[in-house]
Structure formats: C-alpha cells, structure tokens
Structure 1
Amino acid sequence: MEKTVIMNGGDYPVVEEEGKAGFGGGVEDVYGEDSATEDQLVTPWTVSVSSGYTLLRDPHHNKGLGFNEKERDAHYLRGLLPPAVFTQELQEKKLMHNLRKYDVPLHRYMAMMDLQERNERLFYKLLIDNVEELLPVVYTPTVGEACQKYGSIFSRPQGLYISLKEKGKILEVLKNWPEKSIQVIVVTDGERILGLGDLGCQGMGIPVGKLSLYTALGGIRPSACLPVTIDVGTNNEQLLKDEFYIGLRHKRATGQEYAELLDEFMSAVKQNYGEKVLVQFEDFANHNAFELLSRYRSTHLVFNDDIQGTASVVLAGLIAALKLVGGTLADHTFLFLGAGEAGTGIAELIALEISKQTKAPLEETRKKIWLVDSRGLIVSSRKESLQHFKKPWAHEHEPVKALLDAVKAIKPTVLIGSSGVGKTFTKEVVEAMSSFNKKPLILALSNPTSQSECTAEEAYTWSKGRAIFASGSPFDPVEYDGKVFVPGQANNAYIFPGFGLGLIISGAIRVHDDMLLAASEALAVQVAQENFDKGLIYPPFTNIRKISAHIAAKVAAKTYELGLASRLPRPKDLVKYAESCMYSPIYRSYR
C-alpha cells in the first residue's frame, strides 16, 4: 500500500502520494487515465490538507485517536487529542460495541451517518467488516424510516440538492460540489421511495445509502460518488404541512417543466463530468422511470436500479435455484404480482435470458411469463387500456381478477412479488403453489419488511418446509419441523456495486442488456453447495467484495466484447484488475 506523506509546510501540511507519478487531472498509468477508483492513486504530485484542529474535522483525513505520536507532533495535534493512541481495529471494536447497545435501528443509522461525517475511512472499515449486520442499518429496511424522518434528523447536508429554483443554472450548481472527478451519480426525485411513496426532498437518504454501498461493496472511492436529489415538489400532504420539511412546499411539477429540468441536469452532468460518468436513476415513479431510461440510454451511461438492478439480482437467484428445482429456465412458468418497473424489468430480463439460451424469439419466450396488476391478470382483452410497458405481457387467456385464481389457472412454478403491498401471498396462495410444485419457488421482493408479500416463516410453514424462499428485505432463519431454513435476500446490493465497478474499469460509454445478463450469471455461479444445502439461492454477503470483483470482471468482459469499452488495451486478468482498483478503508500513514 502506498504511504501518504504529509510534509509540513507552515500551517498547511501537504499530502504527497508515493509510488505514482501523475500530471494534470489524473495519474499516469498503463490505461491512459486514473486507473483505479482508489483515491490514493489520483492525487497528482501534492495536495494541501489542513492541519491541527481543522484536520480533526476533515472526515477524509481524520483518524481521531488513530494518529500516532509522530503524526501528532508533525500536524499540530498535540494536546488536541487525549494521550491514548488506538489502532483502527480497536476504534472499530469500540464503535461496534456502542452500536449494538442501540435498540432502535434508526439510532444506529444516525450513529453511522455521524461517523461517516467524522471519519470516512473508519465508517467504511466498519461497513465492510460487518456487512451482514450493518447493511440493514445503512440501507433497507432502516433507510426507509430515515427518509420518512429525514427533516427531523437532518443535521448536515449530504449530496447535491437540485430544485426548480436552480433551473437554468444546474451546471453552476454541479461546480459547487468540491470533488471534480466523479464516476457515479445516484439520483432520485423522491416520488417512489421503496414501498413508502412520495417523500419528496427527503428521499436523499436513498442516494446517500446506495453510494455508501458502491464504496463498501464495490470499491468505488467515496470522492468519486455524488448523491443527487431533484426536488420538483411533493404530493405528500403530510410533508407539505410539516414545519421541519426540507424541500419545496408545493405540488409536484410534471410534464414539460419536469422534462426540461431533467434534460438540463443530464446535459450538465455530461458537460461537467464527461461521457463515462454513470448516472443511476433511483426510486422514480413508474411513468418517469421508464421514460427517463429510454430517453437517455442511447446518449448517456445510465442504469435504473429498480428496473435493471432488481431484474439482474432476481434472474441470478432463479439461475442458481435451478440447481435445487431442476430443469432450465425455459422449463418454468413465472407469475408476478406487480407489473410496475420492478416486475416488468425482471420479466423482460428472464425472457431475454431464455431467448439467449434457447435461440427462440423474445415474443415467444415472454409467453412463459404472466403478470398480475391491481386489476387482475394481464391478458390480451385488456391490451387497449394498458400502459405501454405492460403491453408485451398481455397473453391470450380469459380475465382473472384475484391472485389466488391466477395461481390456480396458470399453475406457475415460480411466484414473484414486486407489488409493494404486504401480506398478499396468503396461506391459500402458498398452499396452492405447493399443491402442484414439489419445491415452489417464492420470491417476496417488496421493501421494506412491512411491505413484503409474505414472511419467511409464513412461506416455510404454509408450504410445509418445501418452499425455496427469498425476499427483498432481510428475514431471520426459520426453524420448521426440526430443520433450520435460511431465507435468501434478493438484494440489489449484490449486483449494482460490482456492475458499476465493471462499467468504470472498462470505461464503458453505454449500458447494454447483455451486461445485465453477464452480471446475473456471474452472481449465480458464486452460490456454493453449502449455501444450497440451507435452501439459499444467494451467496452470503460476507464475501461481497470478492463477488463484486467477479461481477465487475464479467461485466467489463462483455463491455469489451460489445465494443463499448474506452479503456484500452483490455487488462489481461479482469478479476485481478477489478480487485486492484478497489478502494481500501485502511488508514494511510502520514509522515
């Protein structure tokens, strides 16, 4: 690991990176630009950081009690810290001890956000080393509650807020952000936060949370990540009346006004950060999500996690589950409850994968997949009244209103919930699935936990221990009939960090569906026999950085194959290259 040298220069010591030469805006490396996402490699020659009291308040460089005796003398820290010197490991142990004392998940979330604002490397060290325990704290389900209460718990602004007030000057606003070399932007307009609805400006918790996972799980350096909230108002009456609400106090702008703001934002992003900045759309309402993805996919590097990330992670689980249920994907029949962006996104990717495997046309492979929306089974007699994204799923069948009747009529082998409505996979539905499937595959994907279509315990109990179950939010292991079942979590965090890393290391300029299929296949092969033995169709999160490196390598390989990579020549070993590019949260030595 390169050492960081802080050389004393009056009141401002200088950070100098050893072992890498560079000029202009990046480092000199074999790929022609800053190779990694690791920020140690990016500094050309030297950069000034504050010393003394200011250094302790700089989250990027602060180590707290981790500063050793020499560093305390060199950087005017003597007397500003208690005499004890702690290793990073001891600091981590103390913080985990304190976090576990909180009974309320939101308090843990607030403590983690406070740590991120105080000591960035320690925050990521905690998150990486305790990923299974802390993932539900910094992301679903706790982040949902944090967004609901964001106005009340708001202390320090994180990310960029771009509202209608900034129309006409978005490029200037982007230039206000202190970091200039941005690789990933996660943006929301707060209209459909998880299963919680319109939270307006308070949706910022989602981009902030997603980007902390990009760093912890995918190794993208924190300084290359930019959370953005587009505030066009909110239709949430409760928030409009809340004196602590932090956003614009009027109804949502729509139509041309909305489109123009988003268009200005997308143009400014490309102008400021270049062709290769990844823009991830997050928690937009259905109509806008599909529209934005189709509008910008041919001109920008864009990705919608709700449509494409969810689809990729679910497809990975289904490919892995074939080892337990047998057959190929084409042998199975799929029934969805929910025909929004998640449901139709997953359905389309399954159809694409079956088409790729069987060489059958997409129109044919779609017929293996049925969707139920709020009005019942999507059938051809409803075609005229359907939204455009539902039309490909309108197959020949008589109308069916209720989910239970649809299950009995279609006899699916796989039941997938993406409705955002809890308790919809009833006892009768699960029993019906079990009556014609030896091992019914049941995925209750809606977040947060309260919106899950059924719980793990219900799925295992009602199927008499035969269901293969995965959910969107985490559930504890379940004991049934003397056997312990460990429910899998179809969490997008398996896919998007590695997917983003793959795009960055290959210098991708566009996202192609084949890259999503590559990510799914890469995740599916990471499930080991010992995981299958517990009924799991996803690998444990403890290996997530290794998994992300493999996904990144497969995505990058596909990017090169499609001719969409700009970082040339292609590295020989993409897995090793991906690993070498990952950000490390270990403290750097200052001299």
Structure 2
Amino acid sequence: MESTLKDMRDGVSVLDMDPKSTVGGGVEDVYGEDYATEDQLVTPWTVSVASGYSLLRDPHHNKGLAFTEKERDAHYLRGLLPPAIISQELQERNERLFYKLLIDNVEELLPVVYTPTVGEACQKYGSIFRRPQGLYIRKLSLYTALGGVRPSACLPITIDVGTNNETLLKDEFYIGLKQKRATGKEYYDLLHEFMTAVKQNYGEKVLIQFEDFANHNAFELLAKYGTTHLVFNDDIQGTASVVLAGLIASLKLLGGTLADHTYLFLGAGEAGTGIAELIALEMSRKTKAPIEEMRKKIWLVDSKGLIVSSRKESLQHFKKPWAHEHEPVKTLLEAVKAIKPTVLIGTSGVGKTFTKEVIEAMASFNERPLILALSNPTSQSECTAEEAYAWTQGKAIFASGSPFDRVEYNGKLYVPGQANNAYIFPGFGLGVVMSGTIRVHDDMLLAASEALANQVTQENFDKGLIYPPFTNIRKISANIAANVAAKAYELGLATRLPRPENLVKYAESCMYTPVYRNYR
C-alpha cells in the first residue's frame, strides 16, 4: 500500500506499500517482507531474521514467550527467555501484540492512543522521547489497527522549522530546533524540496498525509500539491468527510435532504471551512444545483462575528465564499436567532461556547436540533453531552470530537456519538493505496462519507447515534476503502488493474492481521 506523511508543528506521514504481486488475495510489499493476510505464514528465505538478544529487542519480530522450543533452539534464545511458552494473548508488548491489543479493544483504547490523549502526547513529546522512530502512539498506528495498512508501510515524519515559543527556546531540555520559525520563501522552499524528494524516492503513488499545519499553510500546501502529488490533509478533508457522514446519517432522524437544512458554524478555520465546502459539494451533487447556490445554506461565525458580505475585503481567502448578504451580527447567540439553523457545528477550538442560551435557542425552533461540538480535547468542547441533552429537554441529537460518557436524563439513557476522524482516514488511506490511486479527488471524500453513513444501523439510530460503534471499525474501514476505490476507478485515477470484482473482499484481503509468524 502507500506511505502516509505526518506533521507535528509542521510534519507529515507517509504510507508506502507498492504491491508487486498478490498471493491468496493478500498484498506483498517490495521487499517480500510479509503479506497483508500473512496469518501463520513462515518468513521467506529472503528475509534475514536476527538471532538471540537482537531478535528479542526488535518489536517487529519479537514474540516474547510465544517462541516455540524449536524456534528457541534455531535462534539462540535458550537462556534468554524463561522456560514457559505462552500464547499471544498474554505477551509483553511488541509490534504485533500492540496492534492485536488495539484491534481487540478499540473502543476502550482509542481515547488513549488518539483523541483526547494524543494532543498531550504531542505537547510533551520532547519529555518522553526515547528513540528516533517517529511518534509511536499517533495516527499512523491507527492506519494499521483500524485500516489494516501494515506498519512497515507507514513512515512518520516531523518537519522541524523552529518555534516562536520563548519558553521552549529557553528550555535546556527542549529537543527541537532552537531558532525562530522559518516562514515565507524559506519555509515553502523546504517543503517543496521535501515533496519533490518523497515523490522521487517513493513514486507517484505514495500517499502523503499532512497533519496539524497552521491554516494559511494547510490550505496553500493542499492547493499547491493536490494536482501534482497524492496528498491528503486530515484536518481539512478527513474532518469534513466524517462530519458529512454524520449529517447524511442524521437525515434518518431529522428527515428531509441535506439541502433542506440550514447550517451554522462556530469557527471558520481549516476544519470549519473544509467541512462547509464538502457539505456544499454533496448538496450540489445531489441537487444538480451550482455549488455557489448551495453555499448560501451554510453560515460561519468567526471571532469577529457572522461572516457577511460587508466584511469581504478584510477576510482571508478561504473565508470569502461564505460571506453572504446579511446585516452584521456580533455574537453566536444573535447569529442563531437570526439564521435559525437546524444544525449547529462547533470547530472553534474554544470550550463552553455553546452556552445554555445558545442551545435553548436551537431547541426553541427545532424539534430535534443537531448539535455537533467538534473541538478537541474534551476541555475545549463547545458543550458537553450532558448539557446538550439537559438544555434541550432530551431533544438534541449530539455528537462531539472527543468522547463523552452516556448520559441519563429524565430516566432515559442517551448515547452521544463521536465525530472522530479515525472513522475515515484509515479506510480512506487503504482505499487509495490498494487501488493505486494517483490523486485525491473530492468525490472520493464524498464516497467515504456515504460509505460511513451507510454503516449506521437502525439499532444505532434508536439510541440517537449518527455514527456506528468503533467495535466494527475494521469492517467499516473495508467498506469505506471499497467505496473510495470504486470512485477512483470510476474517475480513472486508479492504476491497479484489472479492477477487483469484489472491492470489499479485496480490501479485507489486503488488511494487515497482527498474528505471530513462524520462524524456520
């Protein structure tokens, strides 16, 4: 499959797995290292497996106490392990066990390896740094655990261009580059050199995922390289796709079509405008109306108030399409009362901004107000699940960016949903790389959204959920991958030919399974 490049401060991730041949429906990488469906396979002779202490220290090959007696003799492990032989279920941590544990307990562990813990891990990375292998507990591990992309196909990359944080610059233990951040031509020249090098080394089909870039850089880089590289920005495109999926699914509870509803955003950064644009695109595709017309159903509030046409000259370029004709409005509450949206979406990064008055106003003119408090971590959520249900007398349909516990209100149990990017990007990445796609097209994001929405069952809807449970995430990812790949083939962007007859089964056959292999 392909590589994903990841960004901290300004960083990237690369997924690079260029399948040369398939065996039993699985995918073999360029080194013949292992198959995606390698359960119980024996390592090929072309791979040199270390012996003794070095084998035990290599998380990719270590099996702990699961080494058989024959393997212990062959690889000089006698005396280096206690005599007991124990199955995989009880092993100490190693690469395969890490992914097996994550896959088997995804709902419980996702908040530990991803939102909300991942933000703190990034902030404290310099203090917990152990050895240069990239950030281990980050999204790339979810590509493997949730999307089935082999760990050997993923490369985390941090691009350090300095920092303007004076505290860090003065910290003797800070491990980053101690200089002011590079900007302008120096910054973009570095990124261009990097993007060129990645393509030269890994080829046209390497998937480069941008992560955590500042707004002005994120949009510019996506626009610049979207036509020349296979690039994906999870903050813009992944967030948009997962939110759109929730909106499509919510129609089963709200009724009507997407175009029948009115949307109000608090927050007009890369996440907010990215979501808004994808909603408008989906409405345009469904109604055959110009996207400019569909944008008029969507309103955005930033730090200065409602984005309206009289502010157009002072707006950043990515906000200008959302500057509609309206009187200036300063506060969110005033905007809610003026626009009367059916859907309220928070992407501001500021907690407690969906106040009691705002939520009560939403409930006053909506039978079932849809409240999406998407900012992370939990402390920055625009409101809590409990507040949303209590302030609407249990009428709200609620989903958030960070996980919230179930809420009991007036004797009824409510299960809040989580609009988590982890629903989308692992399956999206798998679909792109298994089809050999060479460019990301917006219609592929729509395909991912529709596939996720289709995984929500009536049982989920009965609980007020607009997202399926994470316990089924590998099945969900396979369906998303198949839908994305199908759209890539339809658009003529897929290069892996001929097209597999059953894309869901093919996606499942390509997925990495963390089962111990046998050693000769």
> So what's the TM-score if we normalise by structure 2?
0.93
Q: 1:39 to 1:468 in 2, by over 3 A?
A: farther
How big is each residue's C-alpha offset from its partner over 1:153-190, in whole Å with a ceiling of 9 and x where there is no partner? 1112223xxxxxxxxxxxxxxxxxxxxxxxxxxxxxxx
CA distance in structure 1 between the partners assigned to 2:29 and 2:458 by the alignment: 34
How big is each residue's C-alpha offset from its partner over 1:376-420, in whole Å with a ceiling of 9 and x where there is no partner? 000000000000000000000000000000000000000000001
Aligned with 2:355 (options 403, 426, 433): 426
How big is each residue's C-alpha offset from its partner over 1:5-44, in whole Å with a ceiling of 9 and x where there is no partner? xxxxxxxxxxxxxxxxxxxx96544899955799523887
CA distance in structure 1 between the partners assigned to 2:24 and 2:103 by the alignment: 28
CA distance in structure 2 between the partners assigned to 1:557 and 1:263 by the alignment: 31
Aligned with 1:305 (options 226, 234, 252): 234
Maintained 8 Å contact 1:39/1:583: no
Q: 1:35 to 1:361 in 2, by over 3 A?
A: farther
How big is each residue's C-alpha offset from its partner over 1:98-143, in whole Å with a ceiling of 9 and x where there is no partner? xxxxxxxxxxxxxxxxx4xxx1000000000000111111111111
Structure with more contact order per residue of length (Cα contacts < 8 Å, sep ≥ 6):
2
CA distance in structure 1 between the partners assigned to 2:26 and 2:65 by the alignment: 35
Does the alignment pair 1:145 with 2:120? Answer: yes
Does the alignment pair 1:337 with 2:277? Answer: no
- Aligned pairs, how many? 496
Aligned to 1:137, the other structure's residue is in SS state: helix
Maintained 8 Å contact 1:36/1:581: no
Aligned with 1:131 (options 106, 118, 135): 106
Aligned CA RMSD, in angstroms, stands at 1.8
Q: 1:394 to 1:50 in 2, by over 3 A?
A: same
Maintained 8 Å contact 1:36/1:505: no
CA distance in structure 2 between the partners assigned to 1:83 and 1:406 by the alignment: 69
Aligned to 1:295: 224
Question: Which amino acid is the alignment partner of residue 61 of structure 2?
Answer: H
Aligned with 1:235 (options 164, 183, 198): 164
Does the alignment pair 1:453 with 2:428? Answer: no
After TM superposition, list the pairs within 5 Å mapping 1:275-424 onto structure 2.
275-424=204-353
Maintained 8 Å contact 1:27/1:41: no
CA distance in structure 1 between the partners assigned to 2:256 and 2:19 by the alignment: 50
Tell me the CA shift for residue 506 of structure 1.
0.6
CA distance in structure 2 between the partners assigned to 1:36 and 1:51 by the alignment: 23
Tell me the CA shift for residue 372 of structure 1.
0.2
Aligned to 1:178: none
CA distance in structure 1 between the partners assigned to 2:419 and 2:326 by the alignment: 30
CA distance in structure 2 between the partners assigned to 1:444 and 1:26 by the alignment: 40
Aligned to 2:5: none
Q: 1:138 to 1:39 in 2, by over 3 A?
A: farther
Tell me the CA shift for residue 70 of structure 1.
1.5
CA distance in structure 2 between the partners assigned to 1:271 and 1:243 by the alignment: 37
Question: Which amino acid is the alignment partner of residue 82 of structure 2?
Answer: P
Question: Which amino acid is the alignment partner of residue 464 of structure 1?
Answer: Q
Aligned to 1:336, the other structure's residue is in SS state: strand
Maintained 8 Å contact 1:423/1:454: yes
What are structure 2's unaligned runs of at least 5 residues? Answer: 1-17, 37-42
Aligned to 1:48, the other structure's residue is in SS state: coil
After TM superposition, list the pairs within 5 Å mapping 1:168-187 onto structure 2.
none
Question: Which amino acid is the alignment partner of residue 34 of structure 2?
Answer: Q
CA distance in structure 2 between the partners assigned to 1:288 and 1:350 by the alignment: 23
Aligned with 1:40 (options 21, 34, 38): 34
CA distance in structure 2 between the partners assigned to 1:543 and 1:26 by the alignment: 26
Aligned to 1:267: 196
Aligned to 2:138: 209
Aligned to 1:324, the other structure's residue is in SS state: helix
Question: Which amino acid is the alignment partner of residue 58 of structure 1?
Answer: D
Aligned with 1:466 (options 369, 374, 395): 395
Aligned to 1:513: 442
Aligned to 1:85: 85
Question: Which amino acid is the alignment partner of residue 87 of structure 2?
Answer: T
How big is each residue's C-alpha offset from its partner over 1:337-360, in whole Å with a ceiling of 9 and x where there is no partner? 000000000000000000011101
Aligned to 2:71: 71
Tell me the CA shift for residue 81 of structure 1.
0.3
CA distance in structure 1 between the partners assigned to 2:483 and 2:25 by the alignment: 22
CA distance in structure 1 between the partners assigned to 2:338 and 2:25 by the alignment: 58
Question: Which amino acid is the alignment partner of residue 335 of structure 1?
Answer: L
Identity of aligned residues (%): 83
Maintained 8 Å contact 1:26/1:44: no
How big is each residue's C-alpha offset from its partner over 1:176-215, in whole Å with a ceiling of 9 and x where there is no partner? xxxxxxxxxxxxxxxxxxxxxxxxxxxx57xx50100000
Maintained 8 Å contact 1:31/1:569: no
Question: Which amino acid is the alignment partner of residue 85 of structure 2?
Answer: V
CA distance in structure 1 between the partners assigned to 2:292 and 2:33 by the alignment: 46
Maintained 8 Å contact 1:423/1:452: yes
CA distance in structure 1 between the partners assigned to 2:172 and 2:387 by the alignment: 41
Aligned to 1:154: 129
Find runs of 4+ consecutive structure 1 residues off by over 6 angstroms: 30-33
Tell me the CA shift for residue 590 of structure 1.
1.9
